[in-house]
């Protein structure tokens, strides 16, 4: 019996078009002007940094472009292949019919074989092609990761793949970086600058902020676009003046922020990482000794590296003189992480006071961590 063509959801193959009122990221768009000279454009950051909006701005007006928005169901290789080839069919104006037919009838040994046929057809296309794959962090199937590594090694020269992800994908991109075939944008580049933050507020608030106020607010949230938007919403609802929010973050509606982070980030964190975040939330800077004292874990450095790789709003750098690893975490992320069910999941995680050596190390480093002297030595403000 002949297999029917799969029914594809149109919105998964449609580029976002609602760009009114967005801040045009000129400095980042400039970096993307040369994208056609690279095999891969990789844009990674935690939720809410504007990855999709940025690429939508860049893609506006471009032809020969396919857009594929992933969800958890795309971990099925056949479904992944159906949508990916459909996106390339859009980009090439139907230039790969043989590959589409093979995908629909499931007449291929594996994804590598299907991609090989796809490349044969695409190489005949004489113009630049763009394939954007959004939310690649949702892919967890190693079969698909292997196939995409094959894709990157053998894609035609006229095709550029643009991946958007919340974490670093398992695609072996080191070789592309060494060969200068990769454009890599992370959260530090995506974070709003003072000028971009001022533009953001100017087009959303009736009463404009002073330059130093918008800059201070931008620094307080590390340029995180979603936090800036939540502050605007709070100001519109009368929760507090935007000027007050620039001095302290009380202008953010805590329930809105908590809902966003729980739904978009925290619900997807495994239990050991969740406990680690809760136990270390009071520390601005830490080393292995402090981590062991707070968490009773001996693999603290590895855990920090994994948290950073997962895009959990943290970045690390070293203070050599103090032997500390400074963790830059959004203050609002830490505040949200200890709310509701997250706080209840760690009610009894009190720091072991009996370790006098650790306590001395903690007290000695308080000034570096900039933590209030009255702060109780307990887990993640749970007492």
Give pLDDT tens digits along the chain (383 positions).
Answer: 455 667 899 999 998 876 677 899 999 999 999 999 999 999 999 888 999 999 999 998 888 999 999 999 999 999 999 999 999 999 999 999 999 999 999 999 999 999 999 999 998 888 899 999 999 999 999 999 999 999 999 999 999 999 999 988 989 888 899 899 999 999 999 999 999 999 998 888 877 788 888 888 888 778 888 888 877 776 765 545 555 544 444 445 555 556 666 666 666 677 777 777 777 766 656 666 777 777 877 777 777 777 766 656 555 544 444 454 455 555 435 444 444 544 554 444 434 443 444 444 444 443 333 333 333 333 333 32
Residue ranges in 168-265 assigned as alpha helix (H):
174-178, 187-190, 194-202, 211-220, 225-236, 242-247, 254-264
Cβ 269 vs Cβ 277: under 8 Å: yes
Report CA 300 to chain centroid distance, whole Å. 22
Beta strand spans in the chain (E): 40-44, 65-69, 129-134, 159-165, 182-185, 285-286, 314-319, 324-329
343 burial class (0-12, 13-18, 19+ CB within 10 angstroms)?
middle
- Distance (Å, rounded) from C-alpha 19 to C-alpha 25? 12
């Amino acid at each position: 019996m002949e297999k029917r063509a799969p029914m594809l959801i149109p919105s998964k193959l449609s580029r976002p078009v609602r760009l009114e009122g967005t801040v045009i990221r000129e400095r980042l768009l400039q970096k993307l002007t040369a994208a056609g000279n690279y095999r891969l454009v990789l844009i990674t950051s935690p939720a809410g940094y504007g990855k999709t909006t940025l690429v939508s701005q860049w893609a506006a007006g471009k032809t020969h472009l396919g857009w594929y928005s992933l969800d958890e169901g795309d971990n099925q290789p056949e479904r992944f292949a159906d949508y990916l080839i459909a996106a390339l069919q859009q980009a090439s104006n139907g230039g790969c019919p043989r590959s589409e037919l093979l995908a629909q009838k499931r007449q291929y040994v594996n994804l590598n074989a299907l991609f090989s046929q796809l490349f044969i057809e695409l190489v005949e296309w004489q113009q630049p092609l763009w394939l954007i794959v959004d939310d690649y962090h949702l892919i967890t199937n190693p079969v698909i990761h292997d196939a995409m590594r094959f894709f990157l090694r053998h894609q035609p020269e006229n095709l550029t793949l643009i991946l958007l992800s919340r974490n670093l994908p398992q695609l072996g991109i080191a070789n592309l970086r060494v060969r200068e075939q990769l454009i890599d944008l992370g959260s530090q580049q995506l974070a709003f600058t003072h000028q971009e933050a001022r533009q953001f507020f100017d087009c959303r608030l009736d009463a404009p902020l002073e330059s130093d106020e918008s800059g201070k607010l931008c620094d307080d949230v590390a340029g995180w676009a979603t936090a800036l938007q939540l502050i605007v919403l709070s100001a519109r609802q009368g929760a507090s003046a935007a000027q007050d929010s620039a001095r302290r973050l009380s202008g953010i509606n805590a329930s809105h922020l908590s809902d966003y982070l729980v739904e978009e980030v925290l619900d997807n964190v495994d239990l050991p990482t969740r406990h680690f975040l809760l136990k270390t939330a009071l520390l601005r800077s830490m080393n292995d000794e402090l981590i062991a004292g707070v968490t009773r874990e001996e693999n603290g450095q590895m855990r920090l590296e994994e948290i950073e790789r997962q895009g959990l709003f943290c970045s690390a750098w070293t203070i050599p003189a103090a032997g500390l690893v400074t963790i830059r975490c959004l203050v609002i992320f830490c505040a949200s992480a200890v709310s509701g069910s997250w706080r209840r999941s760690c009610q009894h995680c009190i720091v072991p006071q009996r370790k006098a050596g650790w306590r001395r190390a903690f007290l000695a480093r308080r000034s570096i961590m900039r933590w209030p002297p009255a702060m109780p030595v307990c887990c993640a403000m749970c007492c």
